[in-house]
Structure 1
Amino acid sequence: MTLKLRSAAVSDQGLVRSSNQDSVHAGEWLVAVADGMGGMAAGDLASEITIEAISGLDVPTADDAMVVALQGAIEVASGRIREAVEEDPTRQGMGTTLTALLMSVSGTCLAVAHVGDSRAYLFRDGAFAQVTRDDTFVQMLVDEGVITAEEASSHPRRAVVTQALQGDTVRAAYLTVEPRPGDRWLLCSDGLTNVVRADTLAEVVSGYADREACARRLVDLALRAGGPDNITVVVADVVPDDEV
């Protein structure tokens, strides 16, 4: 049985920001979310550059080439961000997160690439789990046992990222997962996760069969919670080829 990836994406400016600095791609082989660094110069351009660079991977890719392909696309994105800053010094400091999911042509492998504090979650067999680790100051404090995960959610420095695509060398995290029929992936910017609890995310992800309706409901919940940031959501399902 060949497995395929099918996805839907919704992005919203939110109720406070003057523009939407998030960018998103929801394709046949690739889904990705990039969150331009708020308050920085041209964060929207950084996220746009990154999604444009990585969207070239939305093609059939062999299992053993996926991580290398993601690494190459991230290097291209970083180089283009660096060039954009060199062209206009007022863009100094612009940057973006990136969380991307790539399905192999065989349907037997998924590769995840991650930088920053956007997230990927996997809902499988009734269990909902965060797959990526935030590159943030508060996550570092949690890892060191200084604060709890619950304390991190309301910490005044929770928005401080320790790593992002800004034109310099970056150590992105990569992992591979064997997909199963019925898997549902959620990729999102922190405009969702900063205001909607994980148990609520799980309830919606498991409760809405329609991908677009699920994504819209999650965005709506973030807006109801005040929508203090841009909100971008991708819901991607792993389905048998005969259901496509």
Structure 2
Amino acid sequence: MTLLLRSVALTDRGLVRRANQDAMHAGARLLAVADGMGGMAAGDLASAITIEAIVAADADRPPAELVDAMREVIDAAGDRIRAAVAEDPTRDGMGTTLTALLFAPDNSAVALAHVGDSRAYLHRDGRTQQMTKDDTFVQMLVDEGVITPDEAHVHPRRAVVTQALQGDPVQPAFTTLTPLPGDRWLLCSDGLSNVVREDTISDVLRTHPERAACAARLIDLARRAGGPDNITVIVADLEETP
């Protein structure tokens, strides 16, 4: 039996933002979401630069090389952002999150790379687990026991990130996993996760087997919750075929 990776990617400006600063890629081996930040400082450029740089990793690589490949393209993205700021100092402060999955050619392994507060969820055997940890001020408060996860969800500073791709050195989080038949992955920007609760996200992943309908429903829920930010989702399934 063979595992096939199939995915659907959707993005929406939301109901408040004037522009969409999210960028995404859903390829044969690589899935990625980047959420630009910096407003007038060209957050949309930072996310576009990052996606353009990491697409170089969307190729057949053995499992042992997945993390190194992701590290290499993330470093390249940082270099390009730094060069863009040097070219135009008004861009100083621009940056982007990045959450990406890189699969081995036979889908026998997957590497997860993460910087910032975009998220990856894995839905397996009827349960949904957040596979990334937000690089945010409120997550730091949760880790220190100052506030609860429920309080973090409504904290006024929940969008303050502690690490992003801005041209400076970063320490991405890397995880490797063994994919299983039936796995469903969700990558999303915080335009979804900040306004739609995790139990609701899990219900949608479970009850919408068709990927396009699932992605559309998640975006619809974020818009119904006010759509205060750009919303990007990638829904990907690992399907077993002869």
CA contact (8 A) 2:120 2:132 kept: yes
Q: What is the aligned partner in structure 1 of residue 180 from structure 2?
A: 180
Residues 101-140 of structure 1 correspond to what in structure 2 (within 5 A)?
A: 101-140=101-140
Q: Distance in 1 between matches of 2:106 and 2:61?
A: 8
Q: Is the aligned partner of 1:191 residue 2:196?
A: no
Q: Secondary structure at the match of 1:153?
A: helix
Q: What is the aligned partner in structure 1 of residue 5 from structure 2?
A: 5
RMSD: 0.9
Deviation at 1:60, TM superposition (A): 1.1
Q: Distance in 2 between matches of 1:175 and 1:69?
A: 13
Q: Distance in 2 between matches of 1:199 and 1:237?
A: 19
CA contact (8 A) 1:40 1:93 kept: no
CA contact (8 A) 1:14 1:230 kept: yes
Q: Distance in 2 between matches of 1:113 and 1:28?
A: 17
CA contact (8 A) 2:30 2:101 kept: yes
CA contact (8 A) 1:6 1:239 kept: yes
CA contact (8 A) 1:123 1:202 kept: yes
CA contact (8 A) 2:107 2:179 kept: yes
**Structure 2 stretches of 5 or more lacking a match?**
none
Q: Distance in 2 between matches of 1:67 and 1:135?
A: 19
Residues 1-244 of structure 1 correspond to what in structure 2 (within 5 A)?
A: 1-39=1-39, 41-242=41-242
Letter in 2 for 1:172: P
Deviations 1:152-193 (A, max 9, x none): 001111000000000011000000010000000000000001
Q: Distance in 2 between matches of 1:147 and 1:43?
A: 29
Identical amino acids, percent of aligned pairs: 65
Deviation at 1:5, TM superposition (A): 1.4
Q: Secondary structure at the match of 2:41?
A: coil
Q: Distance in 2 between matches of 1:187 and 1:4?
A: 18
Deviation at 1:4, TM superposition (A): 2.4
Deviation at 1:56, TM superposition (A): 1.6
Q: Distance in 1 between matches of 2:20 and 2:6?
A: 25
CA contact (8 A) 2:38 2:93 kept: no
Letter in 1 for 2:179: P
Deviation at 1:87, TM superposition (A): 0.4
Deviation at 1:198, TM superposition (A): 0.5
CA contact (8 A) 1:63 1:106 kept: no
Cα distance, 1:174–1:60 mapped onto 2, change above 3 Å: same
TM-score (norm 2): 0.98
The count of corresponding residues between Structure 1 and Structure 2 is 242
CA contact (8 A) 2:24 2:32 kept: yes
Letter in 2 for 1:107: N
Q: Secondary structure at the match of 2:154?
A: coil
- Deviating above 4 A after TM superposition, structure 1's stretches of 4 or more consecutive aligned residues are none
**Structure 1 stretches of 5 or more lacking a match?**
none
TM-score (norm 1): 0.97
Q: Secondary structure at the match of 1:169?
A: coil
